């Protein structure tokens, strides 16, 4: 199954860290697995709604073996693949 832009919603107001630098959290629910959601290009159809370093709380494979992943948007090029990475919350800063 492909990305569904209507399942990507804001989890609250963006926070401006400094001029032009924002942090925000989005929520996304899907029947796709974590592996599918983290594949390069999965979020291409959502390109207009995404920006670098945005966080996405992804509720994955909700009709199978549910899993949750916190994703960080790594790159949103004008063309080419949007990339995300799993944000490891257990790693030391």
Write the pLDDT tens digit of every residue in 7-20. 999 988 888 888 87
Do residues 57 and 26 make contact, with C-beta atoms less than 8 angstroms apart? yes
Domain ranges of the chain: 5-86
Query: What pLDDT score was predicted for residue 93?
Result: 61
Instruction: Quote the CA–CA distance of 23 and 17 in Å, as a whole number.
Output: 7
Residue 23: pLDDT band with limits 50, 70, 90:
confident
Instruction: Quote the CA–CA distance of 17 and 29 in Å, as a whole number.
Output: 27
Distance of CA 51 to the CA centre of its chain: 10
- Residue in the structure block whose two tokens are 């804001």: 10
Both tokens of 18, joined, read 């400094």
């Amino acid at each position: 199954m492909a990305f569904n832009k209507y399942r990507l919603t804001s989890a609250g107001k963006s926070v401006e860290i400094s001029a032009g630098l924002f942090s925000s959290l989005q929520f996304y629910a899907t029947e796709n697995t974590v592996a599918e959601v983290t594949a390069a290009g999965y979020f291409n159809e959502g390109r207009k709604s995404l920006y670098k370093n945005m966080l996405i709380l992804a509720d994955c494979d909700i009709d199978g073996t549910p899993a949750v992943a916190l994703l960080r948007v790594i790159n949103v090029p004008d063309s080419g693949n949007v990339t995300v990475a799993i944000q490891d919350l257990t790693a030391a800063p």
